[in-house]
Amino acid sequence: MSSCWNPIFFKDLDKENQTLLKRYDLKNSLTVSTQTLGGIQVTSSTKVFKPKKMWDYSSNLNLAYSPNNAFNVSGFYTSNHESKVNVNFKPSNLKGLSLGLSAGTKPFHVQPSLSFRNNFFTTKAFFELPKATLYLTGATGYKNFTFGTNFKANLKTNTFSLFTSAAQYKITPKLILNAGHNHLNNIASLSLLSKYNKQFSFVLGGEMNLKNKSALIEVAGSAKLGNNRTVKGKFDSNGFLTFNGKSELFDNISLSGTSKINILKAKKLENHQVAVGLEIKTA
């Protein structure tokens, strides 16, 4: 469309909204990351949670190596014996293009991918074998308006497992309107994000299931309290209050806490959730 448009990928259209409205980790966790010789980044994380009556846990070991901006390799291994390796490469003679190849287990799959970005549109795609699953996203825009869509389809069965569209309009740099539609579940969403300054953000959002006419309204906000402390929280029309806080206790050691409270059933402890996370970074 126009070079005046600031190109972004589809997944980043409502990134700030998702951070305020959706991304609250209610699993106790310990994360340790270190930079080893040769520039290899090693991250180990363990999460403990209680899905039903029994406690359970999951552990991940992640490795990442990026000798320059054009090439990087990453991989992970989990406690349930799942593993994956990713390789990404940016050809120097094709600006905006990134090529990738990944392979993983549980089940075994191979996935070539590509992404491309210029001043007129952005796109990402991958094809997973042997399932023959195609994933494709695209976004374009004009000045302060951006529109995008994505889908995931199995070419063997000719069925869709994902099909959504989204639009964004920047009323001002600090006031952003987002709208979206999940075509498979027929759910429409609308939100208004206000960034008061670099320290405070506020969002009012809602979803409506057009099949059963049910609706969910959410209000959320975040604040940066100095360089080392952040807080965020949200409240929805179902009566759930969710809060998250993160603080740097010492150099390279951070503590976070997340709670979810059912205001409508506040007297019953089983209706509430609390989680604590500890993150340690070493040189």
Judge contact between 183 and 165, C-beta under 8 A: yes
Three-state SS at 167: strand
- Calculated CA dihedral for residues 226, 231, 244, 256, nearest 10 degrees: 0
Nearest Cα residue to 210 out of 188, 191, 189? 188
The confidence score (pLDDT) of residue 283 equals: 64
67 against 252, higher pLDDT: 252
Question: What is the per-residue pLDDT across 119-173, written as a single tens digit (0 to 9) for each?
Answer: 999 999 999 999 999 999 999 999 999 999 999 999 999 999 999 999 999 999 8
89 vs 31, 111, 136, CA distance in Å?
28, 14, 19
The rounded mean pLDDT for the chain is 89
Position 19 pLDDT exceeds 70: yes
The confidence score (pLDDT) of residue 112 equals: 96
The confidence score (pLDDT) of residue 52 equals: 60
The pTM is what? 0.82
The confidence score (pLDDT) of residue 54 equals: 64
247/254 Cα distance (integer angstroms): 6
Position 177 pLDDT exceeds 90: yes
- pLDDT band, very low/low/confident/very high, at 191 (cuts 50, 70, 90): very high
Question: What is the per-residue pLDDT across 96-117, written as a single tens digit (0 to 9) for each?
Answer: 999 999 999 988 999 999 999 9
40/25 Cα distance (integer angstroms): 27
